[in-house]
Structure 1
């Protein structure tokens, strides 16, 4: 009788008893038989991990289920089959399904047939990929943030610190008991030891910052933190702690303190009032000059901030601008009166700028108040002098106008006594010209700055003066209220318009016919146009007085660089003279 090969003999016990507990298990359960580790059973978890059906795997070597043969697992299977001794392995990589490989904790136990012979192997696999990934992240985090990670006994004796020698340059043995303090800077040891003893006695979290010895003999700031680990009954098992590297933070803090010290020194030495607020505008610091001048310290500025030192009118005026600067982060600059402890209120120039951190966030505001009382007094004196000068100019213009009107009145009186018509007409023409200059000065008096003349005022004065010469005449004006001309050209223009209006009034009209005289000013294409329109011929004329008037008109037009145009008015029967010139003097 031929003997069957071992692979063909079924020495396994009833698999149904294994199926009963394995089918619903979250672990992958596999029953393997013979030296080739033929797969006789796989539960649902294993099939799900491989992504294959049980029929496709049954009676196949386990190696066939692994895309890349894992020699370590196969070696352990061979050892269990040969010795019958159970084996365990943690976090071994297995690629049961598609890539990438996952990590599994494996337990291998021998399955024995009758007589104690090893017939197969029971393989239990627990997927620990996420656990290992989390552990790896934790280890990486520790390595990134910590100089050393350590474990201490409940009484504080240091039990484990794998990289202590690498970090401190001290032998691991010297880290036991209180000798770990040898790695702490002498100036920091007492404080570190006191806090450690306090934490041991109270069971509270241990936290301390101290300089830790480096392997090269130097020192580096570290932050130590340790917490107790207890069992389910609350019994203390150990302390788990770490030293994080805070050298960069400490250096930044020292640099900041040095910078603040320099700022304080500079602020106290400056001949200005200096203050500092936080990002929200709350006052954090004022220098001695501020306190000496205002008598106000930090407590008095708690509610209103530095605005509390200002004159009430100025505080109300500056508050919106300061609020906008705080919101937008822009520089602040304004003048205000600061109330002194003695009751004065000298003017100061208030300037403030934001100080930002590396991320661009506002850390605080620094402000200075510079005494500008002398400047404000000088500006006030200047304003008074300008006001006095303007008053004198207006008085001079008034006197000039009155003097010219007196001259015109004398000429008018003299012309009435002239028997010769020609002489009388000459005096009347001279009277009209003097009156026109007086009316121009009157219009100049009405201007806000005495440097320009509103044309509406000038045309209105010319019309009023003509009405004095010719009672009942109809003179109408039209000009925009804002249209103005510089004083130097306004007076010659007034003389030209007076000549044209006088000429128009002198002409005879049919009985019963009324025809108004129009004085108009307008702006056209950036140029000023001033016109006089009348039903008669304004220019030229054979009359001697008219020829004289034309000579005066053309001479004055050249003086003010005006173009003289004679043509038809709005009505075809009208005749119109228009002067065109630049709005601004050339």
Structure 2
């Protein structure tokens, strides 16, 4: 197998020793050849297999019998066949050992990368001494795993480069100390810096002045800690202005943990920063709007679990935003209204809305006020409810107005019925006491006028304008032409407010007394005098309104049956007032004039 020097013709013993050595080595070499871990084969001068080992058969997926009937052309990839044949020719010519990385074909169609190292063999008597090979020894090492790893590495690098190019505005690197030493065309294209301006720490000049101190400190802290850099600051554009960048850098270390260099990239986040600024501005506008509305605004998830409450909630209820979260807001709801509130929340999802009226505690007074609470769901495209947006509106005044309206309507109906009844009574009484139709008309009109004045006072009382007795008396006297002069004396407190229900009976009584005074009493005589006094007296430990009407200077002896001695006016005083107001009355006719005393319980006459 191996070429050796031929012994001389005269050295027979040396030839015998050589033959004996070859006989001993040959079996051993054959054993090594057969069981070697790499593929081994011998090719003839035409490239046909003469000898193959087990490893080569395994690599090529063929048996030794199959290969010994084939040549290099039968197992080589077509693209690599010509270079393989030229390699054999070169080795046959000059005897130099050469290698080639090539692809082999297996019967199952698989392609195998291998490195083939070829040496020329010459046997005794086979070589012609002119460099022509008797055969070739080929050592074949499988490169499939190595090629696959190299391909994966290249592919990974390509993917990484594609990814970086897709997200990074620029890439750059520094030495282990963090100083820029290599050029970065992408950095300089973005910033417009020259190479001399950007090397070492010159890159800081491209950072916005307001961000420069932060960027430098962030970079130095990362260098000292040998940790990844992840910062956000503004970097100047070559065209002017600044872009927000997310600057990321990672250290590359050797086997001893020493930092060799820093690899960095700049990711443009200007769009994100603009969106964040717009979002903050939008949220600020919304918060300003929410803070300005009178309603209490809140957000919740399913079942009424609050996630946020507006400042108005805390001002109205005194409950902090933290305490209102979850179901804490229910503590501000009146205990009697909590159950109905929970029930409405349990029905909200099915109904698609929440609406409930309940009472909330007022922080300033400690009382409970009525609120109308409404909420609408926020849904995804598929209809799923993600949260609820709600408001609570103060309707306490509205409910009070509605209740007052209800009372007023009932009172109006009651008064209307009473007024119609009173008009009917006035008409009947006037008819009975009238001499003729003209007299009836005068009497009826006179009493209706008094009734109208009373209704005017009552309407003002309904508008929260309290009616004082002093005012009621003076208006009635003025309506009859009785002025406050030397003939008339009025004496009593000016701030004595009357209850609305007693105004009409008292006004009608004063009307009858004034009418009598004008027709038959003090105001009908030149020397007549009228004195009216009123005051609060305590009777049986309770307040009473005492009104005294006293006329003097009237000679009733010459009168033929004055009308005030009987009839509607006196009947109203002596019978109607006790019935309507539980009053105590006394009506006396003296030779000097009329004396009338009216005592009305404070519970019926005096406003609170």
TM-score (norm 1): 0.49
Larger of the two Rg values belongs to structure:
2
Q: TM-score, normalised by structure 2?
A: 0.47
